[in-house]
Amino acid sequence: MEKNLVLIGMMGSGKSTIGRIIAKSTKLKFYDVDKIIENENNLQISEIFKKKGEDYFRKLEENISVRILKSSKSIISLGGGAFLNYKIRNEIKINSISVWLKWGSDILIKRIKNSKTRPLVNKLSEKELIKLIDNRTKVYAKADYKILCDKLNKEKIIKKILEIYKNEKNNSKN
Ligand code: S3P
């Protein structure tokens, strides 16, 4: 299959960890867009937010995500806010399949609330984070596939993604 498999969802949903494992088992190339942004700018995401502001970060995220999405046969994990961007969503439609790792907001909050590397977590209160999750949920719902992760362990989530990948691969042969 030529298409990429793109993992989307909130911070703390496991996109990078799971993406890396899926790439290993499928022998596909793996792109972690947040890491690429950091490497190309020689700055951590929290430093980009601090020094240049969120709007600047979002433009970088747009440019780099759109560029990486022009790959093929790759696993791509996007930053949590990337799918909110219309240009990124449109680029995904061209040559990628999107999979949303959906978790309940209580689990997500527990996972991210002590994160030092995520500027939005430092900036927003718990209530505001819950609101952000709610608002984003409506957009994440546009993904091609959704996996309800709350009751699954990592292995089961991976298994489900691999099933999606295999089905898509078979369908693309017909
Ligand atoms: C963000 C998520 C982060 C990173 C940045 C903004 C967001 O990525 O891109 O801190 O808006 O949700 P992860 O989802 O990989 O943590």
pLDDT of residue 94: 97
- The order of strands in the sheet holding 29-32 is 29-32, 74-77, 4-8, 96-102, 145-148
Handedness of CA 53, 55, 60, 64 (dihedral sign): positive
Q: Which atom in ligand 1 lies closest to the alpha carbon of residue 112? A: 16
Tokens of 103: 């978790």
Task: Report the separation in Å between the CA atom of 93 and the middle of ligand 1, taken as the mean of its atom positions.
Answer: 21
Residues of the chain with pLDDT under 50: none
Q: Which atom in ligand 1 lies closest to the alpha carbon of residue 37? A: 9
pLDDT in tens, 104-121: 999 999 999 988 899 999
pLDDT of residue 173: 80
Helix (H, G, I), strand (E, B) or coil at 31: strand
To the question of pTM greater than 0.85 for the whole model, the response is: yes
Residues 75 and 26: beta-carbon distance below 8 Å: yes
* CA-closest residue to ligand 1 atom 2: 80
pLDDT of residue 174: 64
Task: Report the separation in Å between the CA atom of 54 and the middle of ligand 1, taken as the mean of its atom positions.
Answer: 11
Q: Which residues have a Cβ under 8 Å from the Cβ of 158 and sit 6 or more positions away? A: 18, 21, 22, 25
What's the mean per-residue pLDDT of the chain? 96
Confirm or reject: Cβ of 19 under 6 Å from ligand 1: no
